[in-house]
Amino acid sequence: MTSMSIQEQIETLRTQRAAQWLEIMHSGAAEQNAEFLRWITESPRNLEEFLKLEALSRETRATLQSGALDRNALLENSRKQVLQFAPTASATVQRDSRRLAPGRLSGIAAAVAAVAIAALGYNHYFGWKEFTTDAEQRTVELSDGSLIYLNAASTLSARMGLSTRDLKLSRGEALFNVAHDRQRPFKVHTRDAIVEAVGTQFNVRTQASGTQVAVLEGKVRIRSEADTQSAASAVTDVPLGAGEAATVAPVGAIERNHQADIATLTAWNRPELVFERTPLESAVEQFNHHRLSKPLRLDGVPRRSHHYTGIFNATDATSFAELLAREPDLQVLIGEREIVIRGR
């Protein structure tokens, strides 16, 4: 048997806790409502898991009450297949005579949902929620379970609807690990492109020359924002698979790379910078894009005059500058606020 991942363990514990709270609600232990509200507002996933179990419980009771299933026969047939566990202190529920009718439990669940949504904020569920970073990187978990790794100096807005999942990357870069949901396409909008996925992992980077997309797993469809806005142009989706990358120019052109170096394009998330005969000016831009150390500034160095290969720590621009200081035609000045690289 394979061991569960950390995320799978978290989801299992979440489901167990939701089941415990559902049992407490059945028992009528109203004195614990404050603690329940605290738990359910910690994460949108907590609320969703509780409501999902409550709906399943309600449907099961309705089926049994309708006579469609013989409850006693069902329990007798399954008794030998059920493993018995000793109750733990955390899972034991003290019962009393205050049993709740199914209709009343549904009403309480609806009221709890309303309170929880109000506590979490209306926009968290129905409007745009913005996430932004400065010098730091950030991990964001959406209500559907998708994970977003937001690079430094980035701004992302997300809106989780009933039929679509829309995101806007207005600046910077993000790596998306998309939860599978065929009923709600996952769309990332930038100034230049619309990237759509159902369940996959991909990276999107906005820059002056256009939007760069790199696919780690699964598939995405890319369309040009310029074509979408133009009534005279036919909107064409360009497919992109794992190991492929593409750049969408502001004018609408899409350039595909079937043999992209995905590890290099997503190295920021480690955080490492992988250079392979990378021009100095591009290396400086990548260090400064991370904003995890002193900024580098070129002064009087001809473009494409120096190229570098290697793996560098994105948080340590000083070590990279010390490497540059060995060049006979470069002078490196390490100041308090920045590192200046000058041509001799």
For residue 226, being part of any structural domain is answered with yes
For residue 169, being part of any structural domain is answered with yes
For residue 1, being part of any structural domain is answered with no
- Do 184 and 298 lie in one domain? The reply is no
For residue 316, being part of any structural domain is answered with yes
Which position has the higher pLDDT, 329 or 126?
A: 329
Residue 54, both tokens: 């409550």
- Do 68 and 161 lie in one domain? The reply is no
Cα–Cα distance measured from residue 163 to residue 32, given in angstroms and rounded to the nearest whole number: 35
Quick: pLDDT tens for 33-71.
Answer: 677 777 776 666 777 778 777 777 766 666 656 665 555
Residue 237 pLDDT class (50, 70, 90 cuts): confident
Cα–Cα distance measured from residue 142 to residue 135, given in angstroms and rounded to the nearest whole number: 22
- Do 148 and 209 lie in one domain? The reply is yes
Answer yes or no: is pLDDT of 13 > 70.
yes
Cα–Cα distance measured from residue 106 to residue 123, given in angstroms and rounded to the nearest whole number: 25
Which residue is listed with tokens 């909008």?
A: 189
- Do 130 and 251 lie in one domain? The reply is yes
The answer to whether 223 and 257 are in contact (CB under 8 A) is no
- The mean pLDDT value for 258-286 works out to 88
- Do 258 and 278 lie in one domain? The reply is no
Nearest to 154 by CA among 110, 190, 199: 190
- Do 45 and 137 lie in one domain? The reply is no
Peptide bond before residue 271 is cis, with ω within 30 degrees of 0 = yes
Residue 231 pLDDT class (50, 70, 90 cuts): low
DSSP code for 68? S
Which of the listed residues 208, 230, 263 is the one where a domain comes to its end? 263
pLDDT score recorded for residue 230 = 65
- The mean pLDDT value for 158-176 works out to 92
For residue 309, being part of any structural domain is answered with yes
Number of H helices and E strands in the chain, helices first, is 10, 19
Least confident of 119-123, 173-177, 196-200: 119-123
- Do 234 and 140 lie in one domain? The reply is yes
Range ranked top by mean pLDDT from 6-10, 15-19, 68-72, 183-187: 183-187
Cα–Cα distance measured from residue 66 to residue 44, given in angstroms and rounded to the nearest whole number: 33
Answer yes or no: is pLDDT of 187 > 90.
yes
- Do 114 and 230 lie in one domain? The reply is no
Domain that holds residue 111: 6-120
Q: How many domains does the chain have?
A: 3
- Do 259 and 148 lie in one domain? The reply is yes
pLDDT score recorded for residue 37 = 75
Which of the listed residues 223, 239, 263 is the one where a domain comes to its end? 263
For residue 238, being part of any structural domain is answered with yes
- Do 97 and 10 lie in one domain? The reply is yes
For residues 137-153, one letter each, b for 16 or more C-beta atoms within 10 angstroms of the residue's C-beta and e for the rest, the string is: bbebbbbbbbebbbbbb
pLDDT score recorded for residue 234 = 57
Answer yes or no: is pLDDT of 213 > 50.
yes
Which of the listed residues 207, 234, 263 is the one where a domain comes to its end? 263
Bridge partners (DSSP) of residue 115 are none
- Do 25 and 51 lie in one domain? The reply is yes
- Do 91 and 134 lie in one domain? The reply is no
Q: To the nearest whole percent, how much of the chain has pLDDT over 70?
A: 70
Q: What is the CATH number of the domain that holds 145?
A: 2.60.120.1440
Residue 172, both tokens: 């910077």
Q: What is the CATH number of the domain that holds 320?
A: 3.55.50.30
- The mean pLDDT value for 113-117 works out to 54
